[in-house]
Structure 1
Amino acid sequence: MNDHPWQWNEATWRGKVEAVRAGRSLKPETWPGGARCAVALSFDSDHETNELRDGATSVARLSWGEYGTRQGVPRIRKVLDRFGVKASFFVPAVAALLHPEEQASLAAEGHEIGLHGWIHERNTELPAEVERDLMLRSADTLEKITGQRPVGMRTPSWDYSAATLTIAREMGLLYDSSLFADYEPYEIIQNGEPTGIVELPVEWIRDDAPYFMMNRFGAQRPYTPPEAVLDIFRREFDGAYADGGLFLLTMHPHITGYRSRLFILEELLDHITAKGDCWIATHADIARYCATQAGLKG
C-alpha cells in the first residue's frame, strides 16, 4: 500500500470509509406508552483507570478518579433516585474490580452496567487479538460482579479500531454507543453487510468532559461555565423532543459529580420530566425496543 493517503487508489480509500457505516435508521414510529421521545442517561465510571491506562501513577490524578466513586456516583445516584429513573453506567473492568460493591448495587437497583474496556485502553493502539481478549475478559468480569452479562458497549474514549466491530459481533452484543453518524438509533453496517447491532450515537456536544476537563501540565483548561453547559444540553434535548427522537447524554462521575455542577443533571431532569411524555430508560432497554420494532435480534 502506498504510504500517503493522496496516493491511495479508490479501492483503498473507499474500503476504509465503508468498513463501518450507518445503515437504516432504527428510530421507531412510536416510543413505549406513547412517549414523545426517549432519554438515555449514561455515566462513564472511569474512576482510576484514566490514569492507569497510560501506565501513569500520579497519586493526585488517581485520587481524582477515587472522587468519582467516593462522592460522584453517590451524589448522582441520589439525583436519579429522586426522579425515579434508571441510567447506564459504562465501567472499565479494572474500575469494577476496584469498586465491585458499587457495580453490584447499581445493577441490583435496575441500572445497567455496560462494557467500557479493561483499563480504559485505546483500542486503536492494540493488536486485534489483544483487544478481543480484553473485551471478553471485561464481559466476564462485569458478569461475575453484577450477575448480569453486559449486552452493550461503549469503547473507551470512543476509540474504535478496525477489529472492534468484528469482536462485538462475535460476542453477540445487542448495541454499541461509541459512534457519531446520527442523532437517532441506527443499524451498523460492516463492509456493506447489516450487522443487526443497534448504534445509540454519541456526540462530544452531549458529553460533559470537553467542557470541564483539566490537565495541569498541558494546555487543557476548563472554559465553559456550568450554566452554559446546562443550556447546551437542554437545547439538545429540546431538539430531540421536537423530532420525537432520542436524547442521549454522556457524563462522568469524576467530572459532573461536584456541588457546582450536579445541578446540571437536576435541572435537566426537571425540564425533561416536566414534559410528562418522555421515556427515560437504560441504553439496553432503548436498544432492545428499537431492535424489536425493526425486527432485529432483541
Structure 2
Amino acid sequence: MTPSWQWPDEVWRGHVEAVRAGRSLRPAAWPNGARAVVALSFDSDHETIPLRDGHISPGLLAAGEYGSRTAAPRILDLLARHDIPATFFMPAVSALLHPDEARGYVAAGHEIGVHGWIHERNTQLAAQDEKDLLRRALDTLTEITGTRPTGIRTPSWDFSETTLPAILELGFRYDSSLMADDDPYEVLANGKPTGLIELPVDWIRDDAPYFTMDRFGSSRPYTRPRDVLEVWVDEFDAAYREGGVFQLTMHPHVIGHRSRLVILRELIDHIVAHQDIWFATHAQLAEVAAEQLR
C-alpha cells in the first residue's frame, strides 16, 4: 500500500472531500423563544457489543443485560420526572432481545433511531452487506415499535466508503455520527449537497470514553464521574452562551450505574434551572434544521 505521504493530491483530497460538512443549518431563532437546545441521546447497545465480536461469556453478556434490566428503567424515570424527551438509538438485535423496552421508549414519548444490526463494524463489511444490515435494522425497529425511524447513528460513529450512499438510499432524514461542528449542518458528498442533516456528536460529550472497562484490554475507567459532570456542564454553558445545541450521547449500561446516574441527574438540574431551554429529540431538532434547506 502506498504511504500517505506519497499520495498524489487528487488521492488525499478525494478522501477528505468524500463526506464533508456543508452549510450550517442552525436557525436564526429556536422554537418557543428558546435560547439553546438540549438533545439527550442514549445508545441502547446492551448485549450487542460482546455479541458483535463473537464473545459469549455470561459475564460480558450480563454487563450488557444490566443496561436493559436495571439502567434503562432508571433513565426513563429520570426523564419522566422532568418531562424531557430523548432519543434512543438501538441496534436491532437489542430490540429483538428487549422488545418491550423498545416499545416502551416510543410509548413514553421518546424517539427510537437505528444503530446498526448488531453494532457491527461497518468499515469491515462489503457494501451490500452494510446496506442489507441497515435495511434489516430499519425494518425490525419499525415492526417492533410501530414507528419507522427517521434517524441513524452508525455503530461506533464509523463511516465506510459506502455508508453515506446507503443512508441516502434508505431514506434517512438525519444522521448523528459525525463531528465537524457543534450545531446541525448539511452533509456534502464529494462537494455536492445531499439534503442529509447531520446532528454532530463528539467523544467529549459521550460517557463511554470516560467509563469503559475491558478487563483483558487497555480500556479502564480513568475519570471520576464528577469530573465528567464538570466537562458536560462547561459544554452546556458554552452552548447556552452561544445560543446553540448541547448534544449528549450516553449508554444505559454505562451511565445507568448509581454513581454515574447521579451526575446526569445533577446535569439536568443545572440545565432546567435555565428557563429558556428547548429539550428536543434528535428528530425534532432535525425538523427545525430541515427548514433551513427550503
TM-score (norm 1): 0.97
Partner Cα separation in structure 2 for residue 55 and residue 285 of structure 1: 36
The corresponding residue for 2:196 is: 197
Partner Cα separation in structure 2 for residue 7 and residue 72 of structure 1: 50
**What's the CA shift for 1:18?**
0.1
2:28 matches 1:42: no
Gaps of 5+ in 1: none
Aligned positions of 1:1-298 closer than 5 A: 3-292=2-291, 294-296=292-294
The secondary structure found in structure 2 opposite 1:14 is helix
Identity of aligned residues (%): 60
**What's the CA shift for 1:3?**
2.1
Moved over 2 A (4+): none
Counterpart amino acid of residue 295 in structure 1: L
Counterpart amino acid of residue 208 in structure 1: D
The secondary structure found in structure 1 opposite 2:220 is coil
Counterpart amino acid of residue 30 in structure 1: A
Post-superposition CA distance 1:81-103 (Å, at most 9, x none): 00001100000000000000101
The secondary structure found in structure 1 opposite 2:259 is coil
Counterpart amino acid of residue 71 in structure 1: T
Partner Cα separation in structure 1 for residue 263 and residue 19 of structure 2: 34
The secondary structure found in structure 1 opposite 2:269 is helix
Partner Cα separation in structure 2 for residue 225 and residue 77 of structure 1: 24
The secondary structure found in structure 1 opposite 2:147 is coil
Partner Cα separation in structure 2 for residue 77 and residue 108 of structure 1: 11
TM-score (norm 2): 0.99
**What's the CA shift for 1:143?**
0.2
Post-superposition CA distance 1:181-229 (Å, at most 9, x none): 0111100000011011110000000000011111111121111011101
Give the total of aligned pairs: 294
**What's the CA shift for 1:59?**
1.0
The secondary structure found in structure 2 opposite 1:73 is helix
**What's the CA shift for 1:34?**
0.4
Partner Cα separation in structure 2 for residue 101 and residue 220 of structure 1: 32
The secondary structure found in structure 2 opposite 1:263 is helix
